[in-house]
């Protein structure tokens, strides 16, 4: 039963990444190499973030919300944006379109995040003798992160690769990217500042990911329309 629960949670956590790759044109254009490169960049970015967190943040004795500490975490979190910029603009990609490039980068980014932050807890906890919903919720959280990562990659693609975008959309693009980039700080405030329980936070992440995906899709479509 414990092994069955572990495999269910693992499929929920990592399965959508494989489904997204195989069910979209990414598999037809063989963009796996781009996703792997993006995953490697994510791991390097995570290492830099870890060093910065260990250097500039103090260890808190309580689990209460500290605005100054969370502000520093949010600033350090923008290292992800720098890593995403590198993955989108500096890495050599096969001859694929901008549309497929940001999807492949976002997919690799999200998969690396799930492996780094959820594989070990899943392996240790989901194989326990006692059933818990926590790892199912972590799987749902990984799905929300997948959508948010692809949305941020789409917005980054518009910011850094799309030259002829409508000027009226530029503030909306940057604002949307800022919201997605600060989602970890927002959820931290909900959990530690407002005392939200984990299921409620995951529900908020799922809802927000769908909203930001819709906004990103609309912005990307608007920027692809020929200017009159």
pLDDT tens track for 47-100: 999 999 888 877 666 666 777 888 888 888 899 999 999 999 887 766 788 888
For the chain, where are the alpha helices, taking DSSP H only? 2-23, 32-56, 67-77, 79-89, 98-125, 134-160, 170-181, 183-188, 198-224
CB contact at 8 A, 18 and 72: no
Domain that holds residue 48: 2-224
Q: Residue 36, exposed/middle/buried by CB under 10 A (0-12, 13-18, 19+)?
A: middle
The pLDDT of residue 225: 72
Tally of domains within the chain: 1
User: What is the full DSSP assignment across 99-133?
Assistant: HHHHHHHHHHHHHHHHHHHHHHHHHHHTTSSS--S
Q: Residue 171, exposed/middle/buried by CB under 10 A (0-12, 13-18, 19+)?
A: exposed
Residue 19 to residue 110: CA distance in whole angstroms: 13
Q: Which two tokens stand for residue 140?
A: 């749902």
CB contact at 8 A, 70 and 187: no
Tokens 């995570």 -> residue: 46
Q: Which two tokens stand for residue 106?
A: 């976002």
Residue 13 to residue 196: CA distance in whole angstroms: 22
- Closest to 32 (Cα-Cα) out of 134, 119, 107: 107
Phi, psi (degrees; rounded to nearest 5) at 172 = -65, -40
pLDDT tens series, the chain, 228 aa: 577 777 888 899 999 999 999 998 888 887 888 999 999 999 999 999 999 988 887 766 666 677 788 888 888 889 999 999 999 988 776 678 888 889 999 999 999 999 999 888 887 776 665 667 888 899 999 999 999 999 999 999 999 988 888 889 999 999 999 999 999 989 988 988 888 999 999 999 999 999 999 999 999 888 877 654
Query: What distance lies between CA 89 and its chain's CA centroid?
Result: 18
Dihedral of the alpha carbons of 47, 52, 58, 61, in degrees to the nearest 10: -30
The pLDDT of residue 228: 47
């Amino acid at each position: 039963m414990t092994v069955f629960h572990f495999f269910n949670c693992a499929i929920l956590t990592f399965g959508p990444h494989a489904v997204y790759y195989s069910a979209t044109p990414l598999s037809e254009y063989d963009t796996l190499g781009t996703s792997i490169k993006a995953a490697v960049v994510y791991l390097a970015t995570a290492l830099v973030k870890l060093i910065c967190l260990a250097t500039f943040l103090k260890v808190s004795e309580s689990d209460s919300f500290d605005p100054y500490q969370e502000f520093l975490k949010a600033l350090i979190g923008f290292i992800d944006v720098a890593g995403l910029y590198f993955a989108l603009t500096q890495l050599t990609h096969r001859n694929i379109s901008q549309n497929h490039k940001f999807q492949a980068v976002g997919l690799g980014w999200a998969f690396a995040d799930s492996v780094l932050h959820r594989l070990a807890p899943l392996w240790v906890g989901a194989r326990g003798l006692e059933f818990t919903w926590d790892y199912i919720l972590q799987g749902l959280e990984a799905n929300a992160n997948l959508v948010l990562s692809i949305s941020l990659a789409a917005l980054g693609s518009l910011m850094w690769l799309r030259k002829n975008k409508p000027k009226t959309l530029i503030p909306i693009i940057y604002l949307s990217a800022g919201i997605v980039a600060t989602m970890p700080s927002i959820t931290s405030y909900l959990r530690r500042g407002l005392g939200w329980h984990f299921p409620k936070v995951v529900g908020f992440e799922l809802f927000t990911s769908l909203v930001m995906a819709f906004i990103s899709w609309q912005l990307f479509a608007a920027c692809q329309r020929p200017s009159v």
